Chain A
Amino acid sequence: MKDILKASSFKALVIAVVVLLGLIIYTTSAGGSFIASLLGFVSTPMQSVATNVTGSVTEFLDLDGFTKDELKALVNSLQAENGQLQDRLVDYDELKHENERLRQQLKISQADPQVEMRSAAVIGRDPNDVFFGFSIGIGTLSGVSAGDPVITSQGLVGVVTHAYATTSKVECLLSEDVQVAAVSIDKEETGVVTCNIMMASSGLLRLEYLSPDTKLEPGDIITTSGAGGVYPAKLKIGQVESVEKSDKDVSRYAVVRPFQDLSSVTDVQVIIGFPGKGEEDAAIDPSEIESGGEEDAE
């Protein structure tokens, strides 16, 4: 035992332990680090290539794996969905024209969105992350910083938690760490979108803090409210599947299915700047817009 303690290798172990403890303390307090950026420089190109190749092969195999009946069923369901969307499009066009006419009457100008975005590919998913977080192939060199929202064409998927030089870590909406102020556009009800590991395993979210007499029902669309200035308003999140009674208090919560399968996102956009970012009162409440408009008209 004494021999081991006197050996030079044991001294090396002690030095390594002290240095690593220092590293833990430094990265816990500082967030990013030079070593992480360095590892990112080494691993990003390899991971990008591997992910692209795997994606192409998987896509090829998936298409090849469909039977004739499965393809027929897929075409039928897509045609039905297309019909529904075309009906909605007619309503949308009418509403758009009416909206434009009312804007002109009320002299409300269309605000320039000024949303600045960067495209990125998902280059890694760590097996240790229980909440389906992922890495993207852009970092601080592309203007990304911690706290930036991450979206796809289907809506919000997460938020950047660590930004290194060439990579960034994204915490998915399915994480317990991510809480998003949300609103139902139809019913004008607000809540907070959260998750836990059990719901994350099923790919579902919870819209918490709804009143006991909530009018939300299955099919209602949930978007970000913009409250707190962390996320832009009106980003799609998902659709209500059911409304349940909370087991903690008298409030209710809605089970929300995201429009995007959050565990298999491949390409994303990072919003690096948007109007109202970081402003506490950046919330867009539909009822306030309505009353504000009426006051202006008066």
Chain B
Amino acid sequence: MILDFNRLIRYLAYTLELLVLFMIQETPGLLPEVFGTRPVLVLPAGLTMAMFEEETPAMAFGIAAGLLCDFGYSGVLGFHGLLLGVLCFFLSLLVRTYLQVSWLTALLAGILAIGLLIGGQWLCFYFFRYSMPGYALRHHYLPKYLYTLLFVPLLYLLNKGLADTLQGQDKQNF
């Protein structure tokens, strides 16, 4: 019962973490701009959480992070939720089956997954709608991608700390 309580507290901590990161990324002037861009913190947060959770909770937190991203951005809910949910599901599966959990794995997963998310964002929300897609990619999406990647190791350490401190019943038995 106590061990399940740990898992509950961990999920609550993840939820709070997502809300706080969302607030930080949305607040103007809180994070310094690099080449006119700011990082999307909820993306690496969702991905690094997935590395320490089973597929279904990983997917659920991925969807939550994605929905926050959708809410802040376009008003069309579901795009980031869907992509991040699926990515987190398979990342969790990969980590539990084939990969070792380390900051290097997290960085590699971040490079691929965040690249897919921001690339998909550029393709779906910019390329088919507005002029100068090349300029937008070079001057907005690429700097934002690199800036967001900087937070992957940091959030990996934070979520590793949470997962280690608040271990669930399954991990303790293991």
Contact = CB atoms under 8 A, between A and B. Distances in A.
Interface in B25-42: 25-30, 36-40
B55 A9 contact: yes
B134 to A, nearest CB: 10
Interface in B56-111: 56, 59, 63, 67-69, 71-79, 81-82, 85-86, 89, 93
Interface in B115-138: 121, 125-126, 129-132, 135-136
Contacts of B132: 196-198
A16 B126 CA distance: 26
A196 B28 CA distance: 22
Contacts of A16: 59, 63, 85
A80 interface: no
B23 A46 contact: yes
Nearest to B30: A54
A134 B26 CA distance: 9
B52 interface: no
B144 interface: yes
Nearest to B28: A125
A129 B121 CA distance: 11
Contact of B67 (A35, A55, A162): A35
A31 interface: yes
Contacts of A169: 75
A124 B139 contact: no
B27 A129 contact: no
Contact of A130 (B75, B79, B140): B140
Contact of A20 (B40, B78, B125, B129): B78
19 contacts: A7-B55, A9-B59, A10-B55, A13-B89, A16-B59, A20-B78, A20-B81, A31-B75, A33-B77, A35-B77, A39-B68, A124-B28, A124-B72, A125-B28, A127-B39, A128-B40, A128-B73, A162-B75, A176-B130
Q: Which 9 A-B pairs have the closest CB atoms?
A: A24-B78, A124-B26, A127-B38, A162-B75, A23-B78, A9-B55, A20-B82, A126-B72, A128-B73
